[in-house]
Structure formats: C-alpha cells, structure tokens
Structure 1
Amino acid sequence: MKAKARAHANIALIKYWGKRDRRLNLPAVGSISLTLDALYTITSVQFDKNLSEDELILNGQMAARRETERITIFLNIVRHVSGIKHYARVSSKNNFPTAAGLASSASAFAALALAAATAADLSLSKKELSILARRGSGSAARSVFGGLVEMKRGSAKNGRDAFALQLAPPEYWDLRLLIAVTSESQKPIGSTKGMQLSKQTSPYYRGWVDGAKKDLKEMRNAVIEKDIEKMGELCEFSALKMHALAMSSNPGIIYWNGTTVEGIHTIRSLRQSGIPVWFTIDAGPQIKALCLSDAVKTVSETLQDISGVKRIIECRPGYDASLMEHSPE
C-alpha cells in the first residue's frame, strides 16, 4: 500500500481566479495552461495501520499542522472512495520554491492524487484523476496532463464536469517559458484566500467571469494555428486582468514587487525591438517570459541583467503525471 509519483507544475496562460464552489474546489472560470518540464514534485504515500494520524514530510522537514490538515482532508476523500481506514505517511519534495507563485500546489496535489490513488488500489481514468486532484488544488487538475491543457469550468453542482483535458501533447510545439525568479519567499496571501476576497469585494469580478469564454475560445484557436503572437497577446491580457482583479479587492492584493514591474517593461521593450516574447505572471512576484526556442538566449540574458532577478529557469513543455514506484503490500 505504497506508491510514489511525479507531477509537473503548470503556468496558466488563460488564468484561473475565483471559485464557484469552495468545498468542491470548482472554478468560476475555465483556464488553459502549459505544463513545465523543469518544475516538478515527487510524492510518496504509504498507508500504515500503525499510524494514529496522517504524517507529512515536506521538503525534508516535518510539515506544520495546517499543511498536514490540508493533506488529511484530501486523503479522507481517497479513504472514503477506496474503503481504506489507515492513516498515511506522505513525503513530498519540490525541486523549486514552495508557495512563491510557481504553482507548487498544482504539482503537489497532482502527484499526491496519483500516488494516493495508486497506493489505495484505485484504478482511475485520467479524467477521474484530474477531478480528484482538483479537490486539493484547482490548478492541480491541469498538472495531471502534459503539454497544453484546458481546465473545464463545468456547470454540474457535484463537479463531475469540472476536469482538465489535454489540448496538445508536449511535442506539439517547441514553446519555451523562462521564469525570472525575483523572490523565493512565500507569498503574503495564498491563492484560495485571495480568490475569495476578490469574489466578495472586487467591483471587477463579474466582468472577469463574463470575459472568460471569449479568452478561452481565442486561445484554443491560437493553439490550433500555432499562432505565438496571438497566444502571447492573450497571455498578457489575461495576466493583467487577473492582477487588476486582485488589486481591486478590498484590501487590495499586490503580488508583484519592483523587479516584477521592471520585468514587464523589459519584455515589452524586447518585443518593440523585434524579439517575439510575451509575459505572464501568476499569484506571486515571478515573471514568466513566453517565447520560441530561437529567442531564448536573448531573452534569458536580458532578464538576468535586471537587478533583483535571482536566477532564470528555462522550461519546455512538460509531460503527464507519472507513477515512479508501486508496492501493493
């Protein structure tokens, strides 16, 4: 009753911000993302009859009570479906900063979903695994798949139609995402709390939800046509709308730092000089540059020259969540 799995982080190109149901983690809007090969989580789960509670080792350290409780809530779903009564020992490690705007919850819960379901001897389809991962983190539903991925908002109250599906496999398009890391500290307000605050207080929330269908349709077309300019334009538009929504909450949520802003201006200047590159920013201060392979060297060197950029992580399209080990007994 032990399994180990790997899942990759993803970066939303058309952003997800807001929930229509907090308990089931149902998104208020659909989203489209790129799974990243360079960022991943490896998680092992072992159900053990001798444990009196769930245990979580996170990046080599015993996790805080709040983090363990979140894992227990998720594992209770697996226990309910599988009939297993035992608590579990969970060990999870990211190869990148946790809770810093790099989608660590996406890769973490996708890896946990696959490892826990396998350890519990559940045979789930990719769709079912995506639905399970979504219960832990909305963006985790997308990290079940590699390449370019769409998360469906769905309309059913029970969430059975809120799942991710692959739009294109990793080898479909030689995209690059360069991450300029501006801080490795945890962000001051988590995404779940931020989404709820925006829903309750931002005057722009309804407009954000209403505009999602158009953005998703246009991004699907950009993927089909391999139109990097349209994709980049939509990336920037969606990112700026999401952050405007966060900033217009009360109190306002500002995930950026000064280096983030300088990165935005730098990428726009590069584009004006003829380099095809576009930015996107998740709920954190890291700035991500979307481009094709022939622009990587110029973009990377230019971003690295910005004071405050700690390092550059080059990402290619990543692969599906995968099982690494499985011991039934």
Structure 2
Amino acid sequence: MAHHARAKAHTNIALSKYWGKRDNDLILPMNGSLSLTLDAFHTTTEVRFVEERGADTVVLNDQPLDASAAAKVSRFLDRVRELKGVDWRAEVRSYNEVPTGAGLASSASAFAALAAAASQALGLKLSERELSILARKGSGSASRSIFGGFALWQAGHDDQSSYAYPLQSPLHDDIAMLVVVINAAHKPVSSREGMRRTVETSPYYPAWVDDAEQRLGEMKQAVVEGDFTRMGELAEMSAMRMHASMLAAEPPFCYWESGSLQAMQTVRELRAQGHQCYFTMDAGPNVKIITRTSELAVLKRALAATVGEQALLTARPGPGIVVENC
C-alpha cells in the first residue's frame, strides 16, 4: 500500500534578514526575520511512502540527488516518519523552478513543499504553525514559505516557539520585486557554511544580532502600516549589515560580484531621480529590487542596458502552500 501526496511551495525573499543559528540541529535562528513570498519561483514535490523498509529515493528535476543531498532529505523525512511512528521508505520526486544554490531561496520552497507533501502523505493533520515548525527543520527560511505574501519568522526560544506567521499589509497589492540574475551558478560558499563561519569568527556578529532584532520590530510596523519607504530603507540596511558581518569573518568571504555592485548603484541612481526602489541581497550575487508595480518598466529599461533583459525576472507576492493527495 502506498501513501502519496503532492505540494507546491513558493520561494520567499527576506526583507529583514536571518543569518546564523543558535541550534544547528533544530535550525533555531539567532534572530527573527520578515519576508515576502514570490509568485515567480516555486518547487513542486511528490512524496510516496511505501510500507516497507529500505533506502529512500530522491529525484530532483528528473535526476537523482547526489548522496550528500539525498541523505539530508532522508534525515528530514525521518522527522516526519517519527511523527507518524513508522519506518517506511519514501520515494520523492521534486521539480524546482528556482536556480539551486544561487541565493534565490531554492531551499525555502524545496523544504516547505517536502514538509507539506510528506506530512500529507502520512495523513498527519498539521496546522500551519506546526507545518512551519516542521519545514524550519529542513531549512530555516522554509518556515516562511508556508505562507503567501508577507510572513514573519519569530526566533522564539525553543523548538515550539520558533515559527512563522502571515502578516496582512496594504502594500500587498502594489509591491513587486525585480530579480537581477547576476550569476545563477551554485555559490562557492553555502549559506550554512557562511552562517557558521560568520557566527564563530566575525567580531561584528553580536552587533548584527542585536540590531537585527530591533530593526525587525520596525520592519513589521512599516509592513503592517503600509509604509513603503521605511520598509525599503530597512530592507537595504538589513542586507548591507548582514553582508558586512561576513566581510569580517575569518577567512572573510563575499557573495557580491561586479554585476551586483553595478545593479545596486543603478538602484541608488534611480532613487535619487525620485523612483521608489530599494535593493536587497541574500547569500549569492543576485540582486532583488523592491519596488512599486508602476515603477517596473523604468527599472527594467535602466537595468537591461547594463545586465541585459534576459537577466531580469519579475515577481509579485506569491501564494502560500498548496497540498493535494495523489
């Protein structure tokens, strides 16, 4: 007998960043974060549990995952199996509409979809909060991809208090994100390694954590009240301060490339001309520009001249998790 379900989850981009863990096993963050789920990038995952023991099989975009990545998926599935009290093997087939490992939040959509599909396949009736907690144990940012639009992941103090929840905002209907793909290749320093190195060696890191928690409250207020300008200012500040902590790590590392700097400068120039746009960056060279829907055409023209039109991807607020039985 097989137990089979499918789930679709979208990526999210943090406006107030999370960087660093205080518990690597449970993925409890040092600080809370706030994100926007996007409609342009998603992962669809099918999970089938077969009532027999054996090794899991994991296929991504019709190719078997390498041993290390497959083992990570199996360890996550062990958590789901434990909730159900079974030891059945799983067959996982996933399709990722996001470049993997390029700082475009592929792990967020991947583990949100995996958590939802696996729990549904085993008949677990998880609430959104419980599903957020489960997804977090695969990838911290996956806790936020359970929800559409804006979501806040509170740091909490233990496993059950660290989860995300949705935020309603007047900005939802008039916000867009222009993704500038500088390099979609797999980044040389993974997010996990980058976080570990920063937490353990950067003298600036304690200041980052203290500041991030304070600014998170300000960001939440700006989003809930619909203050686009303050939201954008805080988003840029969060990204720049996060990357500053990496530059001070030992050895230092930087995800930026020359094209990243060029895109950031273009945003600053357009803003000086009166356009409403702000940039943010995650663990990768790609730049995400937060803007109004009405500003997209101007932004695209300006950036196409420097990076090429093919490097520009447009996104709007995306939906929350969608789950179905197969």
Q: After superposition, where does 1:208-219 map in structure 2 within 5 Å?
A: 208-219=208-219
Q: Read off the aligned partner of 2:225 and give its amino acid letter.
A: E
Mapped to 2, the partners of 1:71 and 1:62 lie a distance apart of 12
Cα deviation for residue 309 of structure 1 reads 7.1
Query: In the alignment, which residue of structure 1 is the partner of 2:285?
Result: 285
Mapped to 2, the partners of 1:72 and 1:169 lie a distance apart of 37
Please say which of residues 110-119 and 93-102 is displaced more in the overlay.
Answer: 93-102
Mapped to 2, the partners of 1:178 and 1:95 lie a distance apart of 17
Query: In the alignment, which residue of structure 2 is the partner of 1:201?
Result: 201
Note closer, same or farther for the CA distance 1:68–1:170 as it changes in structure 2 (3 Å cut). farther
Mapped to 1, the partners of 2:317 and 2:170 lie a distance apart of 5
Do structure 1's residue 227 and structure 2's residue 227 form an aligned pair? yes
Q: Read off the aligned partner of 2:215 and give its amino acid letter.
A: D
Q: Read off the aligned partner of 2:108 and give its amino acid letter.
A: A
Query: In the alignment, which residue of structure 2 is the partner of 1:24?
Result: 26
Aligned length: 324
**Structure 2 gap ranges (5+):** none
Cα deviation for residue 172 of structure 1 reads 3.6
Cα deviation for residue 177 of structure 1 reads 0.4
Mapped to 2, the partners of 1:223 and 1:109 lie a distance apart of 26
Task: Normalising by structure 2, report the TM-score.
Answer: 0.97
Q: Deviations over 1:33-88 (max 9, x none)?
A: 00001110000000123562011101111110011000011000001110122110
Match of 2:82 among 74, 80, 84: 80
Do structure 1's residue 306 and structure 2's residue 306 form an aligned pair? yes
Cα pair 1:176 1:293 within 8 Å, conserved: yes
Note closer, same or farther for the CA distance 1:120–1:171 as it changes in structure 2 (3 Å cut). farther
Query: In the alignment, which residue of structure 1 is the partner of 2:111?
Result: 109
Cα pair 1:146 1:170 within 8 Å, conserved: no
Query: In the alignment, which residue of structure 2 is the partner of 1:259?
Result: 259
Mapped to 1, the partners of 2:199 and 2:310 lie a distance apart of 33
Q: Read off the aligned partner of 2:81 and give its amino acid letter.
A: R
Cα pair 2:169 2:226 within 8 Å, conserved: no
Query: In the alignment, which residue of structure 1 is the partner of 2:36?
Result: 34
Match of 2:58 among 34, 56, 59: 56
Mapped to 2, the partners of 1:49 and 1:309 lie a distance apart of 50
Q: Deviations over 1:191-231 (max 9, x none)?
A: 11111110100000100111122211111111122111101
Cα pair 1:17 1:27 within 8 Å, conserved: yes
Cα pair 2:144 2:152 within 8 Å, conserved: yes
Cα pair 2:172 2:317 within 8 Å, conserved: no
Mapped to 2, the partners of 1:143 and 1:80 lie a distance apart of 23
Note closer, same or farther for the CA distance 1:305–1:51 as it changes in structure 2 (3 Å cut). farther
Q: Deviations over 1:70-115 (max 9, x none)?
A: 0011000001110122110111111121111000000000000000
Cα deviation for residue 281 of structure 1 reads 0.4
Mapped to 2, the partners of 1:257 and 1:162 lie a distance apart of 34
Cα deviation for residue 189 of structure 1 reads 1.1
Note closer, same or farther for the CA distance 1:102–1:24 as it changes in structure 2 (3 Å cut). same
Do structure 1's residue 179 and structure 2's residue 179 form an aligned pair? yes
Cα deviation for residue 179 of structure 1 reads 0.1
**Structure 1 gap ranges (5+):** none
Look up the SS of the partner of 1:2 in the other structure.
strand
Task: Normalising by structure 1, report the TM-score.
Answer: 0.96
Mapped to 1, the partners of 2:275 and 2:171 lie a distance apart of 23
Note closer, same or farther for the CA distance 1:275–1:172 as it changes in structure 2 (3 Å cut). closer
Mapped to 2, the partners of 1:43 and 1:211 lie a distance apart of 37
Mapped to 1, the partners of 2:169 and 2:39 lie a distance apart of 12
Cα pair 1:155 1:162 within 8 Å, conserved: yes
Cα pair 1:101 1:283 within 8 Å, conserved: yes
Look up the SS of the partner of 1:251 in the other structure.
coil
* 4+ aligned runs moved over 4 Å, structure 1: none
Q: Compute the RMSD of aligned alpha carbons.
A: 1.4
Mapped to 1, the partners of 2:172 and 2:14 lie a distance apart of 18
Query: In the alignment, which residue of structure 2 is the partner of 1:127?
Result: 129
Query: In the alignment, which residue of structure 2 is the partner of 1:67?
Result: 69
Cα pair 1:259 1:308 within 8 Å, conserved: no
Q: Deviations over 1:260-285 (max 9, x none)?
A: 01011010001011111000001001
Identity percentage of aligned residues: 44
Mapped to 2, the partners of 1:238 and 1:179 lie a distance apart of 18
Cα pair 1:259 1:309 within 8 Å, conserved: no
Note closer, same or farther for the CA distance 1:264–1:172 as it changes in structure 2 (3 Å cut). closer
